[in-house]
Structure 1
Amino acid sequence: MRWVKWILPTILAINGAVMLLAPAWWYPRVPGVIETGPLNEHFVRDIGAAYLACALAMGWAVKDPARGLGVAVASATFLTLHAAIHLITPFCGTTLPWPLLLRDFPGVFLPAIISLLIVRSCRRRAMRAEARPC
């Protein structure tokens, strides 16, 4: 079951790479994205770069939890702020927010939650490493 911890970094990497390399292909395939306005390939690539950076950071944190705390926090910060935007935005419109929140759960909220769990795990490992006598 050691492979399970690599699911988030892998998904983030695939999503980021596709956003960078094929934004026009990616854009209509992600639920809800086309409802945000017309395709802006530069913007999609910018966000793809952020996802790729998060993937690398989370991969580092998963590989070396004791030393990966800082990069895990940075990655989780982006993912959590992204989720916060998706949490607030549905309540600003005229439609019911619940279908939008359910639609966004697997691709936005779940990665943020998992990233926070990885941060917690890294923090625990770092604290254990500091507590060991030399």
Structure 2
Amino acid sequence: MRWVKWILPAILAVNGAVMILVPAWWYPRVPGVIETGAFNDHFVRDIGAAFLACALAMGWALKDPVRGLGAAAASATFLCLHAVIHLIMPFCGTSVPWPLLARDFPGVFLPAILSVLIVRSCRRRAAKVEA
């Protein structure tokens, strides 16, 4: 079951790569993205690079929890801050926020939660190695 921890980095890597390689294809296919404003090729690629960096950081920490822990913590920080933005923004508009939060749960909130769990797991593994 160790492979389960690799699902998040794999999804982040695929999403980031698609955002970088085919941003115009990615943009209308992710629920809620088109409601955020006009398509901006450069911006989508920038965010794709952030997701790809998160994937690499998480993968490094899963492979080497002692040396990769800081990178995974930075990755989790980005994913959690991204989730906070998605948590706050629905309450700033005129629409009912709950459907928006439910829509964003699998692609925004769940990755943030899983990233924190991966960091905690890597911290425990690193502590065992250093003990």
TM tier relative to shorter chain: over 0.9
Cα deviation for residue 39 of structure 1 reads: 0.2
List aligned pairs for 1:33-112, cutoff 5 A: 33-112=33-112
| Alignment correspondent of 1:12 | 12
1:113 aligns to 2:113 (yes or no): yes
User: 1:21 aligns to what?
Assistant: 21
Match of 1:126 in 2: 126
Query: Under a length normalisation based on structure 1, what TM-score does the superposition of the two structures give?
Result: 0.95
Task: Give how far 1:11 is off.
Answer: 0.2
CA distances 1:17-62 after superposition (whole Å, capped 9, x unpaired): 0000000000000000000111000000000000000000011111
Identity of aligned residues (%): 82
Greater C-alpha radius of gyration: 1
**Structure 2 unaligned residues grouped into runs of 5+:** none
Tell me the CA shift for residue 130 of structure 1: 2.2
Helix, strand or coil for the counterpart of 1:68?
Answer: helix
Higher helix share: 2
Structure 1: runs of 5 or more not aligned: none
Aligned partner letter, 1:72: A
Matched residue pairs, number? 131
Deviation at 1:5, TM superposition (A): 1.1
Distance 1:5 1:128 in 2: 18
SS at match of 1:94: coil
Distance in 2, Cα, partners of 1:57 & 1:37:
29
Runs of 4+ in structure 1 off by over 3 angstroms are none
The amino acid that maps onto 1:114 is L
